[in-house]
Structure 1
Amino acid sequence: MVKQLQPPDPQPGQPKTKQQFEQERMLDVLFLLDLMFVREEATVKQIVDCLYDIGSINLINQRVPSRHLKLCARWIARFSKPAFRFFFLRWFKRNCPQLIADWLYNQVKFEPQQITKAVEAVEVAEAAQIQPTPAVTELDEQNALDHSALFRLLRRAWAKSYQDGRTAQIHTKDGFNPKWEQTAVLKQMVQDFAATAKQDGIMPIVLLINDRGYDDHLYQLLQPTLEQHNIPFVSTHEVAPATDQKNFIADGHFIPEADQKIAAKVLELINTTLNRAPAPKATPASP
C-alpha cells in the first residue's frame, strides 16, 4: 500500500478521498521509520547481533552433525559476524521500514474478515457437533482489543513499566539493593566457589565485570565478602570504568584495548598472589 504513488492533490475546495488521506499518512509513517532507524543505528546493530547469535547456533545444530565440526563452525560464525552485520544492516535499512509500515497499516484497517471466518468456523463446528480446531479456538478466545494496534502498544508500555518497576527493586542508580533476596545467594556462591577451589589446590580469582550503566555497583556489593574471606579479585571498573562509553563497543562488550588492560590486571594479581616475578617484556628484534 505504501509503495503506491501518491495520487494528485484534489482540486481546491474538493475534499481528499479516504485513499489519498491514508496514503499521505502512511508516507509520513514510512519517513518517520526511516528516520528512527538512522537515529537508532546502535540499537539496530544490537538487534542484528542477537538475531545472528540465535540463527547461527540453530543452523549449526541442524546442519552440522559432528561435535568437533560444530566447535569449528561456531568459531567461524563468531568471526563472520561483522561481515553478516554489514550486509544485513544494508538489507534492514532498505526493506524493514517498508515492511513495518505495511504491517502497521494492516493493523489499523480493522477489516472484519478474520473475525467473520472464525465465527463461521465455530458455527459449523457446533452444527457438526465436533470440537473446534485449536486455531479457531485461539481466535474465538481473542477479544476486539487484540485487533487494535493502539491497545497492543499500550499493553506493551504497561509491560515495560512493570519490568522497570521490578528492575528498580533489584538495582537503582545508587547500586544493587542489599535487601534483595538473591544478594545473599550471590555472596554465598562466591564463598562456596572459593572454598571449593582451595580444597582442590587451585587459587580462586573472581573477576567482577561491571557492565555499561552499572558503574562499580557489583564491586560495591561483593567487595566486603571478598575481602572478608581473602578471595583475590579484580574489578573492571579500576581499569575500564563502566561510566566511560569509550570503553565499550555498540553491543556492550569491552573494546580490545580494555580487554588487554583487564587481562594485564588479572595477570598482575596472579603473579602477586603466587609471589611470582612477572614475565619480561618482549623486546623488538633489531633490524
Structure 2
Amino acid sequence: MANLAPKVAEAEREELAEVLDKKVDALPELRWPTQKKWYIADFRAVSTYEKSIHDHRTGRKCALCGGPLLDTIINFGENLFEEPLRLARQHADKADLCLVLGSSLTVSPSNEIPETVGGKRGAKLAICNLQSTPIDRLADIRVFAKADDLMIRVMAKLALPISPFILRRRLVIRVETGAGEQRQQLVVQGIDIDGTPATFLQSVRLDYNRRVARSEPFIINFRNNPEPKTRLKLELEFMGHYGEPNLEVEYIYGIVGSTETHYLLEYNPVDGDWTAIDSKR
C-alpha cells in the first residue's frame, strides 16, 4: 500500500475542490463564502483567467443556483481561510501532542500551530520530515524519514490495521422523454453524496451503439424505445487519475414504477478492480 501513496497523492492534487461563493466582490480575499457548496472535480479545476492568479473563478457555475465556483487553491501572498486557522489554533492550545508529517514548517501562519504545542510545558511535539525544520529544537521526537515509513511502524506498534484506499463514486442512470417527442433517452450522470452533480467521467457508450457521449450530462437517444426489462450495458470511461480502467454497468430498462437507478462504484487501486452496487431505485 505504501507504494501507492505517491500516485494517490498526485491524483488528489489533481482532484481540486470548487466552492460556491455568492459574494463576488470578496473573491480575492478568499473569505469563507456566505453560501457554500463544495464540488469535487476529478480534473484540474484551475482558473482560465489570465489577468491574475488571485482570480479564483473556475469559469464553472453551481448546479444548484448558478453562482460562480471558485477553486480552493491558496497562492503565496494570500491568507488562509479564517475559520480553519482559528480552529487549528484553538486545538493547538488544548493539545498534549502534535505530530508533524512531511512539512518544512517554513510557511506562516500554519507553521505556528506545532510551535504553539512545542512551546507548552507538558506537551509533546514530534516531527517527521526528511529535511531540518526551523523548530527542530522544540521537538521531543525528531524522525528523519518518509511519513509513510513512520506511520506504518506506528500503526503496527499500536496493532491498528491500515485500511486500504478505496475510490468511491456515485452514479445515476435514468430514462427521460425528449421534449415534444415520444422517443426516450438515457441520461447518465455522476453525483455527489447529496445528489448534486459530480464530474468524474470522460465518456459513456451504450453497447451496440457506435456513438459515444462525451459531454455532461451524458445523453444517449433511442431510435426505438427498448422492450420492458431490456438489460442495457453501458461502458464508463473515467478521468484516469487513479489508473482506473473502464467499467461496464447494467441498467434494466422499463421496470414498473422506476425510471432511475443509483449505483455506488468502488475502485481498489491495489488489484485494479471495480465493483458496482445497485444502491437505490
**TM-score (norm: length of structure 1):** 0.23
User: Larger Rg: 1 or 2?
Assistant: 1
- TM-score w.r.t. the length of structure 2 is 0.24
Q: Which has the higher helix share?
A: 1
Higher strand share: 2
